[in-house]
Copies of this chain bind each other. A is one copy, B any other.
Amino acid sequence: MRCRQLARKEPLVSLSPDTLALLEQQAIELPSWAFGNSGTRFKVFTTPGTPRTPEEKIADAATVNRFTALAPKVALHIPWDKVDDYAALRAFAEDQGVALGTVNSNTFQDNDYKFGSLTHVDPVIRQKAIDHHFDCIDIMHATGSQDLKIWLADGTNYPGQGDLRGRQDRLNDSLRQIYARLGDDHRLVLEYKFFEPAFYHTDVPDWGTSYAQVATLGDKAMVCLDTGHHAPGTNIEFIVMQLLRLGKLGSFDFNSRFYADDDLIVGAADPFQLFRIIYEVVRGGGYGPDSPVAFMLDQCHNVEDKIPGQIRSVLNVQEMTARALLVDSAALTAAQEAHDVLGANGILMDAFYTDVRPDLAAWRESRGLAGDPMAAYAASGYQQRIAEDRAGGTQLSWGA
């Protein structure tokens, strides 16, 4: 199938040179784990060609970048991406045309963490969790990564199981120790999540908790906003606005959801919400070279192909960014101040409903890329090649 609009080449009116220059700066970080297998507690389905090594994951991520020029960085997850020589891994990535990005810690798969990690009541286990973050910081020095991202699975399943307050205090102490170890150019970004894997309480369940925690640490500590980690009905763009206003929006984990933390392709469930989020990023100064906000994906391709799933995702972010940049801010402000509710809403909707795809295809072609990266990838034979080449070995997944 070809995009209906791609058949029409002229005229392209939507995107101004200024907008295209801004889009030129877009850089979306891909999660290495999106290229491994993932699933639900019921079943992890496998796919031919799934990477068996961190290098193969990076190669796949670099492939996404080759077709889109939008994804120059790959985030690592430790220990899933543990290697003996991180300098070599960095060199490998750079050979592939990508850099290593955020280092994600993992304190939820060791048996010791059954009842917590950075919040654990046992000082020995808590120190083990802190030490894991020290290791991650060491890796960051080797990989040239800037961000240490902490998503904490800590929580409880039953009322009374844990002391909510004590856990919060211990969390703060643990974070302080980790923060103190950061390098000069490093940042700590603390992710929050409404629920799962804990089902009664989660130790960092909302942006308020993440903010209150990182505010005690210092300027290098920020909040990570995962778009799938909120209660039903939450106005996420409001949180984006607030965290930018407070100077604490460090990064996004983009994905989408219909119900819980579904980790679907960003923009797949509610494209208008993605538009509103990115509009608020732009409005709040979170987009562009001087912004502290890192754009990352964090998704699971349980049933769809992983590489085109990532290509689709970065294109969705790009297309929605283009729409957000189209909003006529001056007209919007005027309508808002005149309390012209329908007019103001109409200005926003006009940008959302504008079909930016032909312009973006032209932009890609002007840079020597295929206009339709999905079709170009399908035609490239890469998927067939890895399916053949990667016979044998153990496919990587979250459990690896």
Residues of A near any B CB (own CB < 8 A): 1, 3-5, 7-8, 11, 13-14, 38-43, 45-46, 108-109, 111, 114-115, 121, 153, 156-165, 168-169, 194-197, 199-202, 205-209, 211-212, 230-235, 237-239, 241-242, 244-246, 257-260, 262, 264-265, 268-273, 276, 280, 283-284, 302-305, 308-309, 312, 319, 326, 328, 331-333, 335-337, 339, 341-355, 357, 374, 398
Contact = CB atoms under 8 A, between A and B. Distances in A.
Q: How many copies does the complex hold?
A: 4
| 4 tightest A-B CB contacts, nearest first | A208-B208, A231-B231, A160-B348, A199-B262
A235 B157 CA distance: 12
A244 B166 CA distance: 12
Nearest to A2: B350
Nearest to A211: B208
A258 B269 CA distance: 14
A161 B264 CA distance: 13
9 contacts: A1-B347, A4-B354, A45-B114, A159-B276, A199-B264, A200-B235, A201-B235, A230-B231, A232-B232
B158 A344 contact: yes
Contacts of A335: 1, 160
A303 B344 CA distance: 13
Given A8-B11, A158-B264, A233 B232 contact: yes
A199 B245 CA distance: 22
